[in-house]
Amino acid sequence: MKKSQSAVGLLVPHEPRGPELAKTPTGIRGLDEITRGGLPKGRPTLVCGGPGSGKTLLALTFLVNGAIQFDEPGVLLTFEENAEEIASDVASLGFDLPELIKTKKLSVDYVRVERSEIEETGEYDLEGLFIRLDYAIRTVGAKRVVLDTIESLFAGLENDSILRSELRRLFRWLKEQGVTAVITAERGEGLLTRQGLEEYVSDAVILLDHRVHDQVSTRRLRVVKYRGTHHGTNEYPFLINADGISVLPVSSLALQHAAPLDRVSSGIASLDGMLGGKGYYRGSTILVSGTAGTGKTSLAAHFLDAACRRGERCLCFLFEESPQQHLRNMRSIGIDLEPWVTAGLLQFHADRPSRYGLETHLATMHQVVADFKPTVTVIDPVTNLMTVGTFADVEAMLTRMIDHLKTENITAMLTSLSSGQSEIERGETTISSLMDTWIVLANDVAGGHHRRGLYVLKSRGMAHSNELREFVLTDHGLTMLDAAGRSPRDAA
């Protein structure tokens, strides 16, 4: 790959040269990034997938966003549901189709196609459809058109030559009108679509997939084809929830993160001292690993409390406890996080790992981060995600999440439950290699006494102490002990 010199003198991947194809933005989070700006302007795009994959929702979102965000009226030509049914379907997403129709920002035309009528006619062409569609386009001054779904239009037509001829004619007619069109189609057997032709006459093809593995469902999107422009070619997880549809780009790992020099406190003065006296680098990632009961969650709570005291917005992903249980447990060591929740500085997002697949968890976390806009994030514990994926799968998911957090300059702490063996001995150091700082907590029970210890295994870019420090958990939080085994309070 060619390289170009950036303004700050660093080598960065070279962007493609030459004019890009004119694009029409969809307004769908992530999709416009993958397609480098949206769908091909004035050309048809095919969106195909199986039942329930999200084809109609993607197409409708494209229309509604066009009307509201980009002042581009649209036309929906539907062959399966009428305007009232469609409006009811998407009302829960905040789409007010009746209002858009009333203000002439959207036209919805339901075309009833009966199989028996097509069989009886014998001759079949789309001239009547063109007249109807042309009238709707002129009525609202449409720039965007959606046809949902194309199979219904050709239901019962057995003559392949007529079908192919009319399909080509339809796509050509849409191009001639200068509208940006989205045509939805059902997934075929061994082909992207049932007819196997739409994918060739479209300028862009987007494939939606809804798969289930081990009783866990995952939605994925792939841009199969896009004439005249560069685009992301991977499979991308996407979400359909109360906020609509959002796509997660996962391939933009260009390693161009900023490297701030300012530091943030761990919330524990003695630990800050072990880190050069200043704490972690802002925007860095910290791994806290240890066996059960070593105090990983407690150390993370100190970090959250200190950030909230600085007035920073903090986000905590919980995969083991409910928010209320977490708040109660932290109060037992003198850390009351509830006032920060009330003040809107701290938000919890709790989920069972088995609720989704890894990519859906990743997409959900991206969306929560985008909505709340934190500067500090905790994920506790990441090892619980092992229940829904292999080590390699979790590693890939965390790599993407860490990349996103670094890109957003978010300081992140991840806790990890380790076995009694050394992680290095087990060879499972891949996750830790992604971290800037790695803090290891240890338990020791000898002579009837329970002792906890902490040491900094690594901390990139700063001088730090590798000394093992004993600590205790009391109602005053995590407290380091001195060489004589005394806490600062005892020494005083």
Q: Do 237 and 267 belong to one domain?
A: no
**Same structural domain for residues 238 and 281?**
no
Angstrom CA distances, 250 to 26, 377, 405, 469, stand at 19, 19, 13, 39
**Residue 253 covered by a domain:** no
**pLDDT score at 8:** 36
Q: Are residues 149 and 47 in the same domain?
A: yes
Which parts of the chain have pLDDT scores under 50? Answer: 1-14, 118-122, 251-253, 422-428, 490-492
Q: Is residue 21 part of a domain?
A: yes
Cα angle, residue 125 at apex, residues 120 and 127 outer, rounded to 5°: 125
Same domain, 370 and 234: no
The answer as to whether 254 is a domain residue is no
pLDDT at 188: 64
Give the domain range for residue 39.
3-247
Q: Which of 212, 247, 282 represents a domain boundary (last residue)?
A: 247
* Distances in whole angstroms, Cα of residue 133 to Cα of each of 128, 130, 142: 9, 5, 10
Same domain, 286 and 196: no
Same domain, 237 and 358: no
**In this predicted structure, what is the pLDDT of residue 339?**
97
d(CA 113, CA 161): 20
Note if 320 is an active site residue: yes
**Annotated catalytic residue: which of 33, 80, 81, 235?**
80
Residue 23 domain-assigned (yes or no)? yes
Distance separating alpha carbons of residues 20 and 230, to the nearest angstrom: 8
Last residue of a domain, one of 247, 280, 298: 247
Cα separation, 370 vs 408, whole angstroms: 9
Q: What's residue 489's pLDDT?
A: 54
Tell me how many domains the chain contains.
2
Is 81 one of the catalytic residues?
no
Residue 256 lies in a domain: no
My answer on whether 42 and 190 are in the same domain is yes
In this structure, are 318 and 413 located in the same domain?
A: yes
Are residues 193 and 290 both part of a single domain? no
| Residue 277 belongs to domain with CATH number | 3.40.50.300
Domain-embedded: residue 392: yes
Same domain, 73 and 209: yes
Q: Is residue 158 part of a domain?
A: yes
Give the residue from 247, 282, 315 where a domain finishes.
Answer: 247
- Annotated catalytic residue, options 33, 81, 320, 395: 320
Are both 132 and 57 inside the same structural domain?
A: yes
Q: Tell me how far apart the alpha carbons of residues 434 and 286 are, in angstroms, rounded to a whole number.
A: 9
Are residues 238 and 314 both part of a single domain? no
pTM beyond 0.75, yes or no: no
**Residue 155: its pLDDT value, please?**
62
